[in-house]
Amino acid sequence: MSVPVFEVQDVTFHYHIVTALDGLSLAIERGKRVALLGANGSGKSTLLHILDGLAFPEKGSVRFDGEPLTEGRLQDLEFGYQFRRRVGLVFQNPDVQLFSPTVFDEVAFGPLQLRWPKQEVRSQVGQMLDLMKITHLKDRSPHHLSTGEKKRVTLASVLVLDPEVLLLDEPTAALDPKSASQMIDFLVGWRGGVKTVITTTHNLDILEDIADYCYVFQTGRVVLEGAPSDVLRETALLERTNLIHVHRHVHPSGEVHSHPHLHPHKH
């Protein structure tokens, strides 16, 4: 059996007095598409930051490709460059990820930091802008784009590095339905679906499209895991973790009817 790409062992993390992760353990296999489900504040975004080496557990350990992922290890130039090259994170709020004067500069930021040859940077950035259909925006300031355009730029700025592992924090948040659908179609088709993709979401409608396996979070712990179809059957638990809600409607007879609200996709 191959070494998991990420191995999280008994990880605990707090924001002041608030527990974000509470003794969390999980392993993510290479090439899998994994969804981290949970309501706001359940700890899934914190886990993504830990997996990207931006935060470090107070207790427990994280291993990337069999090697310990620690602050000290990331200071090592060779490991640091390799890690940043192989793992990319798309933040939930695109504004924090857009800090360059133009869209082109924004997409070129990562490759330049990783010291790619300049000719390659120009060519790869050009190709990525074409792929994401944002070439027409290349000279625009990222701050003046619509939310959908900003999301595309942030995704391009990470995908240009062609990471082996893609971490996505609520990729469809604040997108209109059409943009969200386009985003999901793109991610599903990206590099033929062979990359490891870890996505946080509380949108169960897209679950079967984006994941082979899911973890359901509640107050910093995994309370359920399994294939999307199995997880979606656990309606009582999903309701308890605020991932689905009771939907009420009135029948023509006047009877008020309520049931958990879930719209899984069927093909």
Partner 1 sequence: MNFVERTLSSLVNAMERALYAEELAKSDGLLQRLDPRVKVIGILTLVVASAVAHRLWVMGVIFAVAVTLAVMSRVPFGILAKRVWVAILMFTGVIALPAPFLVPGREVWRLPGLDWPVTAQGLASACYLVARVETAATLSVLLILCTPWSHVLKALRVLGVPVVFVVTLGMTYRYILLLLQTAHDMFESRRSRMVGKLEGPERRRVAASSAGVLMSKTLQLSGDVYSAMLSRGFRGEVYVLDDFQTSKIDWIMLAVFVVLASGGFYFGL
Question: Binding residues for partner 1, per CB under 8 A?
Answer: 49, 52-54, 80-81, 84-85, 88-89, 91, 93, 95-97, 99-102, 105, 108-110, 112-115, 118, 121-122, 141, 143-144, 157-158, 161
Smallest separation (angstroms) from partner 1 to the CB of 125: 9
Smallest separation (angstroms) from partner 1 to the CB of 196: 16
Our CB check for partner 1 shows the closer of 114 and 237 to be 114
Smallest separation (angstroms) from partner 1 to the CB of 254: 38
In 10 A of CB 209, how many CB atoms? 16
Q: Cα angle at 182 between 177 and 183, to 5 degrees?
A: 95
Taking the C-alpha atoms of residue 198 and residue 213, their distance in angstroms, rounded to an integer, is 10
Our CB check for partner 1 shows the closer of 141 and 179 to be 141
Residue 91 near residue 157 (C-beta atoms within 8 A): no
Cβ partners under 8 Å of residue 156, min gap 6: 107, 128, 129, 131, 132, 134
Distances (CA, A) of 169 to 27, 29, 213: 18, 19, 16
Our CB check for partner 1 shows the closer of 39 and 55 to be 55
Smallest separation (angstroms) from partner 1 to the CB of 172: 19
Token duo for residue 5: 């790409």
Our CB check for partner 1 shows the closer of 155 and 206 to be 155
Token duo for residue 109: 């930021």
Smallest separation (angstroms) from partner 1 to the CB of 54: 5
Our CB check for partner 1 shows the closer of 52 and 208 to be 52
